Amino acid sequence: MKKTNMKQKYFFVMTTISLIFILTTVAFAEGEDPLTTINNLSTFVFSAIKAIGVIILGWGVVQIGLSLQSHDASQRSNGFLTFFGGLVIAFAKEILDLILK
């Protein structure tokens, strides 16, 4: 029983290795500058960060509104901290551009 189990494992491993070598293809990037690809990735990452910042900014506005309704000072301070944190996150790219230029 052990011998057939070992044969099956060996066959599976050899088939997997063979398929890896047989099904590989070489991909060439034609006509595109590598810096363009990096800039596109950077733009995508900063747009995702901006979306998260806008969501946090909106949650801060909701917290401020709820604190004004309930007259809760600690919730109000948390709301303002969340609001300004979301503002910084939403405009992180612009802030970095201002610092680095």
Mean pLDDT across 36-58: 91
In angstroms and rounded to an integer, the radius of gyration of the C-alpha atoms of the chain is 27
Q: What are the CA-CA distances from residue 6 to residues 1, 12, 31, 77 (Å)?
A: 9, 10, 49, 65
Closest CA to 56 of 24, 22, 91, 21: 91
pLDDT tops 60 at residue 1: no
List, for residues 70-97, the tens digit of each pLDDT value: 888 888 899 999 999 999 999 998 988 8
- Token pair 């293809």: residue: 25
- Token pair 């709301």: residue: 79
Domain holding 93, by residue range, is 2-100
Q: Give the integer Cα–Cα distance in Å for 67 and 82.
A: 13
**Number of domains, the chain:** 1
List, for residues 7-29, the tens digit of each pLDDT value: 889 999 999 999 998 988 877 76
How sure is the predictor about 60, in pLDDT bands with cuts at 50, 70 and 90? very high
